[in-house]
Amino acid sequence: MKKIFTIVCALCSFFVSAQDTTNLRWVGVNEDGEFNFFKTDTSDLINYVSGYGTGQGVFMSNKDSLLYAIFDVNADGDRNLYSFNPFTGAYSLVRDLGVPYVSSADISDDGLTLYVIEGNNATLGQITSVNLTTGVETVVTTALNDPANSSYGIELNPTNNSLYVFEGSYASANRVQAIDLTTTVNTNSPMVGWSTQIHGAKWTGTGSKFIVTAGYGCDMLMTDATGNNLTSFYSTCPYNTADVEDFKMLRAENDSIIVCGTSDSTMISLIYSGTNFTWYRNGVLLPATNDTIMIATSGNYKALVEIGTTGNYMWSETIVVNVATVPVVNITQATNDTLICPSETIILTGATGGSLQWYRNGVLIPGANASTYAATLAGTYNQTKTNTSGCSDSAAVSYVIDNQLVGCPAVGIADVQGASSIRVYPNPVVTNLFIESADAIKSIVIYDIVGKEVYRAESTGKNNLSINLSDLVSGFYFVRTITDAGEKIQKIQK
């Protein structure tokens, strides 16, 4: 792959100014099977010969960000769909369409379905969908309200899932028709501002506003927000554009990317390879010579790409990269307590601010989103913090708490720690254990004799509970009842 690069950066400004360049990423197809590129929205840059027949449509797929075009290869009405590289003219046949005399086309927002409208033949005005995976062609509608002697530009508006058909006619009134792809209901209204043929359209990305190409005469018109009223937009190109599309040149995570810390990076690559190109950050030439670059430095990145071998260049879109700070998380405990008894609570302290989440043994603890966490069980604890930039990290060293097997305070049926009257019965229990409290019960935790949790119920809000313990093996257990008034730990036998 030939690449353009300048060793001495002092030559950068000379290199750019010596070429004819454009920031407008527009490509059109015309009646001579050529691509034409636009320098601005009112002037041309260059045309590029494709080697194929009449161009009938050009569009970009959101599925793969590639450009596609329809050409009449043999000038006999048989149209083929191609994917292509706009900078080298390299083609790949996608599908030989069964629909004849395609006048205009567009692709669904997911890139899976092609919509075409016929501009000749007995089925003039018929809209057909083409499944680009299976090749199945299905008639969408023929109800275009007297299509005789008409020509069409068709474009999908993804905001309302409707195909807009701009109908030009020498014989009758011109129309704008919106076909709801969910219901196939066709709504048509007069089109104001144009009276002859139309061959293409491009959605502007706003409401129902389109750019309409008159076809083989290079007249382009802009609709208002209703899609009906057309005014002159562009009429100076010598290449008789039938359809036009704007397109992407770069593949990246997003148009604006956050890189988390100096050890993180993001990848930006050219969608189309095999061309002459250079990379820039903040307008300064980079030494990168590959069509993919890894970015770990903040800045505005874009590429300058030659169109074929014409000496004319097109700027890519700009990808904004910002390097953000990774949050620091440390977990501490005031007394460095790492052993826990069945009746004990150990307070762990982590990071503050941002979005916080505590974990035990690698499992998220529901509702544990504060800077501190009251641990009542043995386990390995960690905390994750996500800052306002969206960067996340957890503590490099987890806090490990083990069960204290000896030296724990003895607990019995009458042991109360600040709680109001709580009754636990029967004791011994066979199947169902009943718990009654004068205050609403916040949680119930049952431990076995070595302090392992065997049952938990959170935020019950009730004063009476029935717990089925039939699955527990025979032995002694501790029932910890927590209310707003305090807690009570009671020993039971199963």
Residue-wise pLDDT tens digits, 23-59: 889 888 888 888 888 888 777 788 877 777 788 899 9
What's the first-to-final CA gap in the chain, in angstroms?
78
Higher pLDDT: 72 or 327? It is: 327
Q: What is the mean pLDDT of residues 276-280?
A: 94
Whether residue 391 has pLDDT greater than 70: yes
Q: What is the pLDDT of residue 2?
A: 31
* Reported confidence tier of residue 112, pLDDT bands at 50, 70, 90: very high
Over the chain, what is the mean pLDDT? Answer: 84
Task: For strands 339-340 and 363-364, give the pairing.
Answer: unpaired
Q: What is the mean pLDDT of residues 120-128?
A: 84
* Reported confidence tier of residue 238, pLDDT bands at 50, 70, 90: low
Whether residue 418 has pLDDT greater than 70: no
Indicate the range of 124-138, 269-283, 474-488 predicted with least confidence.
474-488
The residues spanned by each domain of the chain are 26-246, 255-262+277-324, 339-403, 416-493
Q: What is the pLDDT of residue 18?
A: 41
Q: What is the mean pLDDT of residues 152-179?
A: 85
Interval 189-213: pLDDT, tens: 888 887 778 889 999 888 889 999 8
Higher pLDDT: 369 or 215? It is: 369
- The radius of gyration computed from the CA coordinates of the chain, to the nearest angstrom, equals 35
Whether residue 140 has pLDDT greater than 90: yes
Backbone φ and ψ of 268, nearest 5°? -125, 130
Q: What is the pLDDT of residue 125?
A: 87
Side chain identity at 427, as an amino acid letter?
N
Q: What is the mean pLDDT of residues 160-167?
A: 91
Interval 436-468: pLDDT, tens: 888 888 888 888 766 678 888 887 778 888 999
Q: What is the mean pLDDT of residues 362-366?
A: 94
Tokens of 383: 């905390």
Tokens of 336: 């460095």
Whether residue 416 has pLDDT greater than 80: no
Cα–Cα distance measured from residue 297 to residue 413, given in angstroms and rounded to the nearest whole number = 64
Cα–Cα distance measured from residue 221 to residue 244, given in angstroms and rounded to the nearest whole number = 12
Q: How many helices (H) and strands (E) does the chain have?
A: 1, 44
Q: What is the pLDDT of residue 217?
A: 67
Q: Which residues contact 341 (CB under 8 A, 6 or more apart)?
A: 404, 407, 408, 409, 451
Tokens of 172: 């009758």
Look at residues 318, 317, 314 and name the one whose alpha carbon lies nearest to residue 88.
314
Q: Is 26-246's fold the same as 416-493's?
A: no
Interval 297-323: pLDDT, tens: 999 999 999 988 888 899 999 999 999
Whether residue 407 has pLDDT greater than 70: no
CB-CB neighbours of 388 under 10 Å: 10
* Reported confidence tier of residue 170, pLDDT bands at 50, 70, 90: low
Cα–Cα distance measured from residue 481 to residue 425, given in angstroms and rounded to the nearest whole number = 13
Secondary structure of 435-479 in HEC code, one letter for each residue: EEEEEEEEEEEEEECCCCEEEEEEEEEEEEEEEECCCCCCCEEEE
Strand, coil or helix: 190: strand
DSSP state of 11: G
Q: Which residues contact 466 (CB under 8 A, 6 or more apart)?
A: 432, 433, 434, 435
Q: What is the pLDDT of residue 113?
A: 95
Tokens of 125: 């005005």
Q: What is the pLDDT of residue 219?
A: 81
Whether residue 158 has pLDDT greater than 50: yes
Q: What is the mean pLDDT of residues 106-132?
A: 89
Q: Which residues contact 171 (CB under 8 A, 6 or more apart)?
A: 148, 149, 150
For the chain, the farthest-separated pair of C-alpha atoms sits apart, in whole angstroms, at 100
Q: What is the pLDDT of residue 417?
A: 45
Q: What is the pLDDT of residue 205?
A: 87
Q: What is the mean pLDDT of residues 477-484?
A: 84
Highest mean pLDDT among 40-44, 122-126, 418-422: 122-126
Q: Indicate the burial class of 301 (C-beta count within 10 angstroms; 0-12, 13-18, 19 or more).
A: buried
* Reported confidence tier of residue 394, pLDDT bands at 50, 70, 90: very high
Long-range contacts from 273-277, C-beta under 8 angstroms, 24+ separation:
273/1, 273/85, 274/1, 274/85, 274/87, 274/88, 274/90, 275/1, 275/85, 275/87, 275/88, 275/305, 275/306, 276/2, 276/3, 276/4, 276/305, 276/306, 277/3, 277/4, 277/303, 277/304, 277/305, 277/306
Q: What is the pLDDT of residue 12?
A: 38
Q: What is the pLDDT of residue 114?
A: 95
Higher pLDDT: 249 or 53? It is: 249
Cα–Cα distance measured from residue 202 to residue 199, given in angstroms and rounded to the nearest whole number = 11
Cα–Cα distance measured from residue 179 to residue 472, given in angstroms and rounded to the nearest whole number = 65
Which fold, 416-493?
Answer: Immunoglobulin-like (2.60.40)
* Reported confidence tier of residue 215, pLDDT bands at 50, 70, 90: low
Percent of the chain topping pLDDT 70: 88
Q: Indicate the burial class of 453 (C-beta count within 10 angstroms; 0-12, 13-18, 19 or more).
A: middle
Q: What is the pLDDT of residue 274?
A: 67
> What's domain 26-246's superfamily in CATH?
TolB, C-terminal domain (2.120.10.30)
DSSP state of 73: T
* Reported confidence tier of residue 173, pLDDT bands at 50, 70, 90: low
* Reported confidence tier of residue 9, pLDDT bands at 50, 70, 90: very low
